[in-house]
Amino acid sequence: MEHVEYAYTQGMADADVEKRLRTAESGVLSLANQNDAYAIPLAHLYDDGRLYFRLGTTAGSKKREFLEATGTACYVLYGAEATDDPRELDSWSVVVTGQLSEVPEAERDRFDTATINHEFTPIRVFDESIEEIDITIFELEIETMTGRSTSSA
């Protein structure tokens, strides 16, 4: 493997990790059900140290099944920008883990339709009827939050 190209990375400061969470619009939420994994691209809202997701589920959906079965969820967001060298990228990634739970009824007033439309990108609908989709807000109770970026050295 001596001829494999690589790039050095470094840990990101907490403030930089939080900035990426505030400014990036989406990432990938990974869920698990025993030995099976399920990952979905998803919009998020990071506000005052709390990480929220707006989810659309239908009765009996695979997504709902995995949401209910997952002990610790993992959310990944990442990005890369071109540099002056076409073979190199300035890149970064953030990984957040924790318990996922539906926002309690007492806190749902915070997420009215106007807020959902303002804070999240439009929900992606595939083969479901709009009337069958339940919109719910989940919070990932952050246990770990780490970030890495390519080194400028």
78 bridge partner residues? 93
> How confident is the model at residue 153, as a pLDDT?
42
Helix (H, G, I), strand (E, B) or coil at 66: helix
- Which pTM does this prediction carry? 0.87
pLDDT tens-digit readout, 129-147: 788 888 889 999 999 999 9
Going 29 to 33 to 35 to 38, the CA torsion angle's sign is: negative
For the chain, counts of helices (H) and of strands (E): 3, 7
Domains and CATH numbers, the chain: 9-146 (2.30.110.10)
* 50 vs 115: which has the higher pLDDT: 50
> How confident is the model at residue 111, as a pLDDT?
85
Q: Are the C-beta atoms of 46 and 77 separated by less than 8 Å?
A: no
Q: What are the tokens at 63?
A: 């997504």
> How confident is the model at residue 151, as a pLDDT?
64
